[in-house]
Amino acid sequence: MSVAPGAALEVPSVQAIEEEAPPPSIWRTLLTSLEGRIGIALGVVMLGVIAFGRFFTPYSPTEIGTGAAATGPSADHLLGTDHLGRDVFSRFLAGGDTIILVPLIAVTLAFVAGGGLGMLGGYLRGWPDAVITRTFDLLLTLPPLLLVLVVIAGLGTSRLVLVVTVALVFLPRMGRVVRGATQAVVTNDYVAAAQARGERTSAIVIREVLPNIAAPAIADFALRITYAVIFVSTLNFLGLGAQPPKPDWGLMVAESRSFISVAPWATLAPAFGIAALSISFNFLADALTRHLTRETAKGVVPL
Amino acid sequence: MTAAPAPQDAAVPPRPLDRGIERGSPVLSVEELTVGYVRADGKTNVVVADASLTLRAGHILGLAGESGCGKSTTALAAIGYRAPGSRVLKGRSKLGDVDLLALSTGQLRSVWGRRVAYVAQSASQALNPALPIGRQLAQPLTVHLSLRGQALRDRQLELLEAVRLPEPARALGRYPHQFSGGQQQRIAIAIALACRPEVLLLDEPTTGLDVTTQARVSALLRSLIDETGVAALYVSHDLSLLSTIADGLAVMYAGEVVEHTTADALRGRPRHPYTQALLAAVPSVHRPRAVSGIPGRPPAAVIDDACSFAPRCPYATNTTRETHPELRELEPGHWVRCLRAEEIEPPLVEERPLVRPAPDGRTPLLVVEDVSCEYGGFGAAVVVKGVSFAIGPAQTLGIVGESGSGKSTLLRAIAGLHPPAAGSIRLNGKDLPPRAVKRPRSVRKEIQLVFQNPDSSLNPRQTVGEIVGRPIRLFRDDVPRSGEREAVEELLDAVKLPRGMRGRYAAELSGGQKQRVALARGFAARPSLLLCDEVTSALDVSVQATILELLAELAEQFETAVIFVSHDLAVVRTIATRALVMKDGEVREEGETERLFVSPRDPYTRELLSAIPDLVAEPAAPTGNR
């Protein structure tokens, strides 16, 4: 721990800075933590299955009577058949898209709308904040499933309706997180400095506020995806989302659960699919949160 | 406790020195205390090395140093507290014949609060907001002394009277938030003294309090320590305060005690170059005095193969850079860790303020007339009440006041961040719109703002180049886009930062460097008026001095007028040519700095000035034995 002899007066400070290792990149942190590795590995496998599985189905996923009904695994049917004699493996390969697409789109929608409103409220304060916050509170009082039931009863089950209602469920929750983060950032003097420079509100929000709330917002986004995956599979299970005969994991669990003793894989395979997907997102969200909070503590987050 | 009843004077706490200990006899001796932190890679960072201190009954030992020098670590480790991750590597801390460092946590629990007490910096955080103070005061008394009923209540009242808390009987049922900051600290002191401890550890007990409150609390501490005979260790960054309140003084630098002597000897004739430099950096309210900062930055850990101060020392030689000096007794009772202590003399500090008065008589730059500011809507609190003043071009005006005096709000009103409720603000004869957004660009350019805390005023997601470059892009018509990078680099030169810092984030810089970046941003637009809001308050004294020097230099170079708001009168005297004293939103006194500080007219100004201890020994007092 010695300082080089003859070091000039300003030099030690500069040296001290340059000795500090640059903060690890986000990929590095994700890849070095166990959670991150599991999350990425599982996520890649599951996304691969969902995206490309449909091209490798041995049977048509909707074809009835490809074999005997409700059988266990065999050479012809790797995961057996369901109660209508459809090939479970084919249905499994083809049935993941709703569960990934609907949550992704819905949460993004909720993130943009809720986050935008939350940021507006947190930045403006006063009555706009009161209106926005009370609206969030109002939406939060509605039980999620009830909200979806009512909307779907009124508008029917299309993917669009599903996406919008799921987004509506997640909107106030994400909005509150963003508003809280914004409120904490707005009190900082760099915002006052920008106001004193006479900067436009949009410039202040984009340059001064947004980069500083990105960390908690992204962490929240990742976590909400997990919840949304489970929520959408619940809806599908309840028959509020995907409709038969479409292959869908949530729906498959619902349809074949009465036959679980004779054809267990018709229920277990889609259940595992849902679990694996949400676990991988959850692990990724955890690793991401840890990375972001650690770097924010130091004030630097490479994004 | 002896049978002797409490003296008639209720303010006098019970029986001093009733343990048969003589005043000045050693109570706690810390020997060769070495503390390290275990790093992630398993190695240990030594942060305190070979600290030896003796606390004596009825005496205050001041432990001084800048942030990160290890003073708090030393103090806490001395009473056996193990901070998370820290490890005592060597040493003893003997209270009587008990080594506190060898005790288990369970054993320490019976020592802490009873034989050793601790007063933390922030009473508002040390007190539990959910419990009335009577319960908090009762806790040590019931746990350690098993007091109950009337005896407990008597002792509680006795303690609150001893710390001069008004209405002790009613105070017992109140909650911490119902007391002022000074009163909270008095309560914390009462809790610490509850069990008549032998050792009292004070960790910056008055930092963060207003000047006048600070003076009262430290005077109270001195008299309580005299009366009870407790051996006190007073940790503070404030050398002027310590030199007046403490009996002995130890100065720490980079984890080592570099000088240790009596308070009188230290301010009379400091021997270590660091102590000398530190004293030269402290501004004074009592005389016109320049300050000079210490260049560079202290090492992050203890250095054991060289003098840790050598890279910043004006007297450094190849020998001092390669030899680790030991603490040695230069004169009886005066210990110094410096190889060249005999040869060096304290540097002379110029008896002049940093800023020379600008020629007056020109038309004023900014005129503030009858400005009032409020917070809240209906039934608003008026925080600035009809303030008027004017400042000429290139002049430096200091505004002093305690917290709540409205000085910062006034500054925000001028900056266009807080629209005044009444009154007018004119720049170059033209009325300023109340909000910055409504002001024309040419006006916004002329008024720039520097904030107290660079951690809050610099966006952590922007590089230094982006931060400093923004006002250039917005306001400097003489700089084309292609020249912005060069303009930023020139500003970094001006604030004496290496150009390479352009790409750095604020979090990677030290506190002083961050404030330099903030100054660079303030001057970037080439304003005619720079508003400075407590810009040195978050900094260490040696860094504060460099920032003050820099500000004075830049203001002169760019012919910028400066309004410098501060709670610190000494800083204002050093930097300002005119000064304004504010109290409760009103101007109490205004005048040339010299006149105002030498012959204050307003009683409040006099009170403020008398509250501040003078670091430099009085001319009448003997300075050393030569």
Residues of B in contact with A198 (CB under 8 A): 416, 436-437, 439, 441, 444
A208 → chain B, closest CA residue: B459
Asked if the Cβ–Cβ distance from B505 to A299 is below 8 Å, we say: yes
Q: What is the pLDDT of residue B357?
A: 67
Q: What are phi and psi of B3, to 5 degrees?
A: -80, -10
Q: Which of A112-121, B375-384, B498-507 has the lowest mean pLDDT?
A: B375-384
Taking residues B305-311, what's their average pLDDT?
A: 90
List the end-to-end C-alpha distance of chain A, in Å, as a whole number: 33
Q: Which two tokens stand for residue B137?
A: 């005061």
> Using 50, 70 and 90 to split pLDDT, how confident is the model at A153?
confident
Residue A212 in tokens: 């500083």
Predicted TM-score (pTM) of this structure? 0.81
Distance from CA of A195 to the nearest CA of B (A): 7
Q: Is the CB of A13 less than 8 angstroms away from the CB of B451?
A: no
Q: Which of A2, A9, A207 sits opposite B305 (nearest CB)?
A: A2
**B122 exposure class (CB count in 10 Å sphere: 0-12, 13-18, 19+):** middle
The CA distance from B112 to the nearest CA of chain A, in Å, is 33
Which residues have CB under 8 Å from B58's CB, separation 6+?
Answer: B16, B17, B23, B24, B225, B226, B228, B229, B230, B231
Strand partners, B427: B366, B430
Judged on CB neighbours under 10 Å (0-12, 13-18, 19+), B3 is: exposed
Asked whether the beta carbons of B200 and B192 are under 8 A apart, the reply is yes
**Separation of first and last alpha carbons in chain B:** 47
Contacts of B439 in chain A (CB under 8 A): 198
Q: Are B475 and B513 contacting, i.e. CB atoms less than 8 angstroms apart? A: no
Strand extents, DSSP E, B243-294:
248-253, 256-262
Q: pLDDT tens for residues B157-172?
A: 999 999 999 899 999 9
Are the Cβ atoms of B458 and A190 closer than 8 angstroms? yes
CB contact under 8 A, A1 and B299: yes
CB–CB of B304 and A208 under 8 A?
no
Question: Which residues of chain B are within 8 Å of residue A197 when distances are taken between CB atoms?
Answer: 436, 444, 470-471, 474-475
List C-alpha distances in Å: B530 to A67, A193, B401, B519. Answer: 85, 13, 19, 9
pLDDT digits (tens, 9 = 90+) for B581-607: 999 999 999 999 889 998 999 999 999
Residue B355 pLDDT > 80, yes or no?
no
pLDDT bucket at B360, cuts 50 / 70 / 90:
low
Q: What is the pLDDT of residues B314-330, one digit of tens each?
A: 898 888 888 899 999 98
The predicted pLDDT at position B249 comes to 94
Q: How much is the pLDDT for B361? A: 61
Partner-chain contact B506 A188, CB within 8 Å: no
Q: Do A301 and B461 touch (CB under 8 A)?
A: yes
Which amino acid type is present at position A300? V
Calculate how close chain B gets to A81, using CA atoms only, in Å: 54
For residues B35 and B73, the answer to whether their CB atoms sit within 8 Å is yes
Peptide bond before residue A245 is cis, with ω within 30 degrees of 0 = yes
Asked if A12 and B310 come within 8 Å (Cβ–Cβ), the reply is no
| Cα pseudo-dihedral B502, B506, B508, B512, rounded to 10 | 100
What average pLDDT does this structure show over A86-94?
Answer: 91
CB contact under 8 A, A2 and B457: no
Local confidence band at A293 (pLDDT 50, 70, 90 cut-offs): low
Segment B562-588, tens digit of pLDDT: 999 999 899 999 999 999 999 999 999
Q: How far apart are CA A240 and CA A243, in angstroms?
A: 8
Is A198–B500 a contact, with Cβ atoms under 8 angstroms apart?
no
* Per-residue pLDDT at B420 exceeds 90: yes
> From CA A214, how far away is CA B240, in angstroms rounded?
45
Contacts of A32 in chain B (CB under 8 A): none
Q: How close is the nearest chain B Cα to the Cα of A38, in Å?
A: 24
Q: What is the mean pLDDT of chain A?
A: 83
B355 alpha-carbon distance from chain centroid: 23
Q: Which positions in chain A have a beta carbon within 8 angstroms of at least one beta carbon in chain B? A: 1-3, 5-7, 9-14, 16-17, 20, 187-190, 192-193, 195-199, 207-208, 211-212, 298-301
Q: For residue B471, which residues of chain A lie inside 8 Å, CB to CB?
A: 197
The whole-number pLDDT of residue B615 equals 67
The Cα–Cα gap between A133 and B300 comes to 46
pLDDT of res. B358: 64
- Mean pLDDT (chain B) is 87
Residues of B in contact with A192 (CB under 8 A): 412, 417, 449, 451, 457
Residues B23-44 pLDDT 10s: 888 999 999 999 998 877 778 8
Q: Are A253 and A270 in contact (CB under 8 A)?
A: yes
